[in-house]
Structure 1
Amino acid sequence: MGVVSQDAISNYGSDGGYEAFSVGTTSCNLGNQPLSWQSSGVNHPVISQNLFRMKQVNGSRRFEQLGYSWLKHGFFALSQNACCSTCNGTDGSTLGVGCSDPYTSSRNGGQSSLGPKWAVNATTGQHTHVSSPGFSGSVARRLRVAISDLEVSNGSGDVNATRYFVECQYIAADDAASGNKNNNASYRPLSVSGSGSAWSFTAIGSTQREQAGIRAWKDTDPTVSEADVVTAEDGGMSALVILAAQATDLGGGMWHYEYAVQNLNSDRGIGGFWVPVRPDAVISNIGFRDVDYHDGDGPGGVNYDGTDWPGTTGNARVSWSTTDFGTNQNANAIRWGMMYNFRFDANVAPWPGKGTVNLAYFKPGVGTEATAQVITPDPCIRGDVNLDGFVDGLDIELFVERLISGGSSFQELCAGDLEMTRDGIINVDDMPNFADCLLTGGCG
């Protein structure tokens, strides 16, 4: 099942420093079996909406999630043909093969029929119906955004212009059981107009089908580095976390590193993130951004904890983490449908290839972390093969071992691949430069 279009938008009045809107969606059954769409019980999909912004800040670009909505629950599937030439129509309790089903923006924004995200396991697609706190005001439960995060934007193609994107995602148990849950999100560009406390959103361009919101960053700016992380979930299942990164030359030997991590459908979630850096790197302006839960979206009708992840340096890395699951099961993990940002400045240029970053799982299970290959600072002092922070005689033995075996860890490879144009291996071509490194105490 995929989101084939995001259509009309309903804009609502502001309240308490927030604006809110909702988007019409059309889903399509691209598979070969009908999908359950029953109004009673839990055998139906839920629909989420997210808002993203790409903006230039202090000479570098950021791609951030600004807000999210509670979930619309499916209740009846029409049998239309917006996506396929043939539709095997049904009585509405299922979405037939080749059929499409539209939900208007007003339906997707109807506050009384929206349920919380916390009651959904996006890996299995299963959910429960839970009691939720009452609501009031025009922005409650809807896709809300702080007015302070809004500015006029016509959706210009200029990579340096501020741009907004809306994402819609369907979660369904039968679709997940068939192994098709990773194509259920799509995004579309928006224009934004208004001032003061009155703002409105308009859909522009076309829906980018089966593409999660974070994909808009690289689609808009090809210099972005992107990686898919397949997570290990309960019951032998897997899920998808998407990582995007960019390095920007700030001048004067300084670089800005920007990372975005979107959890598309991992129930285990992400509770830690770290980036390798060389031991002598000067790190500054460490930053973090998350998404605020709202209106009692958490167990017992209490929002999940929103404490920011502190950023720290040490052990040759920049790292962030939330409180561990054993201490607080409601800590501020990157849960499904959420994207968090991590950033810092460093006096080190990027590694010429892709470095390895680590993502720690929040919930316990098989394994404690996953890895991804994206742009990172050069993580080593060239010639420091034993990674002790110095280039000296203690590096000779390990350099020779790696030269013979051809194998090494990522950071050992970084330190030992000493040709002017790195080829990704430690070989005899690196020997003259290694000797020079020993004589001078380092190669930079």
Structure 2
Amino acid sequence: MKTSFLLALPALAVGLASRDFAQANQVAGRDVQLFSLSTLTAMGRTGAFPNGNNGVAMSTTSCNTGTGNIPWNQAMSETHPMISFIVARREVGDTRITQISDRSFIKHGFFATNSPGCGTCQHPGSGSQLGVGCSDTYGTTNNGDNFWLGPPDEFDPWLGTWEATCSHFDKGEPPVAPAQQCDGLRSLTTGQATALGPVGHRINVLDSAFNTAAAGWAYQAQYNVVGEPELERDNNTAWRSFTPTWSAAQNRWNFAQPAGTTYNSILSAWPGATLVDAINGGDDGRVYVAFKVTGPVNGLYHYEYAVHNRDNHRGIDAFRLPICPSAHIVNVGFHDVDQNAGNAWTFANNGNEIAWTTDSNPLNWNSFFNFWFDSDAAPQFSTCLLDQDKQGAGLAQLSASVRTPQTVFNVYLGDGCSNTAPPVLFATGTPAAATIPNATFGFQSNGNTVLSPVTLFYGGIPGTQNFGGACNVYMGGWLGTGITVWSTAIADAFGNANFAVAVPNDPGLEGLEFRFQSLGFNGGGGPLFGSFDLSNGLNVRIGNAIPNCP
């Protein structure tokens, strides 16, 4: 039985991109709102804690805020609302937000109660339509009922259309005889739905996703109805915060849910991130991109991106970021919503662009993926590209303005060498660039043998000289002839050695370049001459008028 409507929540409409277009089947005046979101509940579980899996559901109330009735027919009629769900976790320090639920099945609406509570309800006289100003609530029992849950891939979220023939409901689970699988009649029975067990096709979340330190959690629901104009969809999606707690006595997770609902992509739950979006004109739906750049720490900026496909039917199979070709890119990562490491997107550094791509695991609607890396290049705004996966009308790529690694003052020349992890040399100061003048400029060499001497040397002749194995000196000449020792410091208890290299107020230095590298004594044995480690090389460009990207 449906729960009663409890509380109306204010809508916060967020319009982020131009919307002077219309999809092919839009119905003027059609507008459904996710009016209330509440009661995230663990409905059942399989496996023993802390290695189990949970079937989760949430309660949703919709409201017809448009000017005409909205079809609310039960399957196998094809005109009814769909409700989709996401559960996410904010990592410690809010470094990242990740989807911890699977790309779950979606709820097929089946009857409108046409209750009051969101305006003057104009009852249409039937539960097969949601009247103007009327509300309809599905409690957790209904939204978690496998009898009404179907695969998201059967639904076109852009047009709001679903084909009953040959659908999950038509075929049944397990499938009925072939002759009955595509006859347009429901074969999925209540008995089959019950046999799916306590988790089934409910929102699936592993114990391990809840049972971990985090900055916070959030859950989202979204309504889609056939023909709703894109301009009216900002109030279809909303999220709430929650905190999970395991109860051994109840053998279940309980969720504390403070008041407050936000109308937007669940990515807006990520503090400190910037949220932008992109849409394929009037041909397909909207994709959100949230990004955050932090640092530098030890000479590296950390770049984080999360991409949420709200209702783009064609899906996304590539995420492309322009970079300065001299940018050093390390510690690359990717996260999707399944447990299959074999279908992770492939990363490539193509010189002036880095890209993650897939030919088998696109970012489909009602899910979001994560992409991250570190770079020595400082951020600037530029345009990311998202390739559409399926063929179809409209553009082959979407675009959005994000921050990417574009500014390189000190060019990374190559890795160092060590029998363990090589020392890392990076520029320091405010700024960490050889501007004229810059009394704070200098270097730090990390990862050296503690309390051992470290020598900083430099030269102005380009070149790379190999001294065996992975040991390269990234400058031409020899010590005393083209290569000069700047100074020697003793590495501290953490293996760090600091060098002051103040830049004087001398305009004659403008445009000059010098290569720097550090040499550390390793009493335990190093690859260079049996006793030394080498850091990476840096090409330092001096001046105030040098280009941001060499």
* TM-score, scaled to structure 1: 0.74
Answer 1 or 2: which has greater helix percent.
1
Alignment of 1:63-212 (within 5 A): 63-67=97-101, 68-84=103-119, 86-90=120-124, 91-129=126-164, 130=167, 131-134=171-174, 136-151=196-211, 162-176=215-229, 179-194=231-246, 198-208=252-262, 210-212=263-265
1:229 aligned onto 2:289:
no
State the match for 1:376 in structure 2. 404
Judged with a 3 Å threshold, the aligned counterparts in structure 2 of structure 1 residues 9 and 438 are, in CA distance, closer, same or farther, namely closer
Give the % identical residues. Answer: 31
Q: 1:255 aligns with which of 273, 298, 301?
A: 301
Task: State the Cα deviation string for residues 292-316 of structure 1 (Å, max 9, x = none).
Answer: 29xxxxxxxxxx9971102222222
* Uncovered stretches (5+) of structure 1, i.e. residues with no partner: 154-160, 294-303, 324-330, 390-417, 421-433
Deviation at 1:42, TM superposition (A): 0.8
User: What is the CA–CA distance in structure 1 between the aligned matches of 2:227 and 2:111, rounded to whole Å?
Assistant: 16
Shift in CA distance, 314/94, structure 1 to aligned 2, threshold 3 Å: same
3-state SS, counterpart of residue 350 of structure 1: strand
> Which has the larger displacement, 123-132 or 113-122?
123-132
Q: Supply the AA of the counterpart residue of 2:86.
A: N
**1:404-426 deviation per Cα after TM superposition (whole angstroms, max 9, x unaligned):** xxxxxxxxxxxxxx999xxxxxx
Counterparts of 2:173 and 2:351, CA distance in 1: 44
Please tell me whether the aligned partners of residues 288 and 341 of structure 1 are also in contact (alpha carbons under 8 angstroms).
yes
Of residues 320, 324, 327 in structure 2, which corresponds to 1:281? 327
Q: How many residue pairs get matched?
A: 361
Q: Aligned Cα RMSD in Å?
A: 3.0
The structure-2 alpha-carbon separation of the partners of 1:306 and 1:362, relative to structure 1 and needing over 3 Å to count, comes to: farther
The alpha-carbon distance between structure 1 residues 380 and 39, as it changes in their structure 2 partners (threshold 3 A), is: same
Q: Deviations over 1:245-288 (max 9, x none)?
A: 00121521112111000000001111100222222222111111
In the other structure, the counterpart of 1:318 is: 354
Are positions 1:43 and 2:79 aligned together? yes
Rate the CA distance shift 1:72–1:42 in 2: closer, same or farther, 3 A: same
SS of the residue aligned with 1:175? coil
| Distance in 2 of aligned mates of 1:269 and 1:313 | 23
Residues 306 and 332, structure 1, Cα contact 8 Å, conserved in 2: no
Give the conservation status (yes or no) of the 8 Å contact 1:29–1:96: yes
Deviation at residue 192 of structure 1 after TM alignment? 0.7
Pairwise CA distance, 1:146? 1.7
- CA distance in 2 between counterparts of 1:289 and 1:121 reads 24
Kindly indicate whether the alpha-carbon contact (under 8 Å) linking 1:383 and 1:438 is maintained by their aligned counterparts in 2. Answer: no
Normalised to the residue count of structure 2, the TM-score between the two structures is: 0.61
In structure 2, the gaps of 5 or more residues are 1-31, 175-194, 414-434, 438-506, 514-540
What's the offset of the Cα at 1:181? 3.6
User: CA 1:195–1:278 in structure 2 vs 1: closer, same or farther (change >3 Å)?
Assistant: farther
Does structure 2 retain, via aligned residues, the 8 Å contact 1:44–1:75? yes
Aligned partners of 1:4 and 1:207 also within 8 Å: no
1:2 aligns with 2:33: yes
The answer as to whether partners of 2:105 and 2:149 remain within 8 angstroms in 1 is: yes
- For residues 353 and 235 of structure 2, the distance between their equivalents in structure 1, rounded to whole angstroms, comes to 33
Distance 2:347 2:116 in 1: 49
Distance, in Å, in 1 between the alignment partners of 2:45 and 2:436 is 59
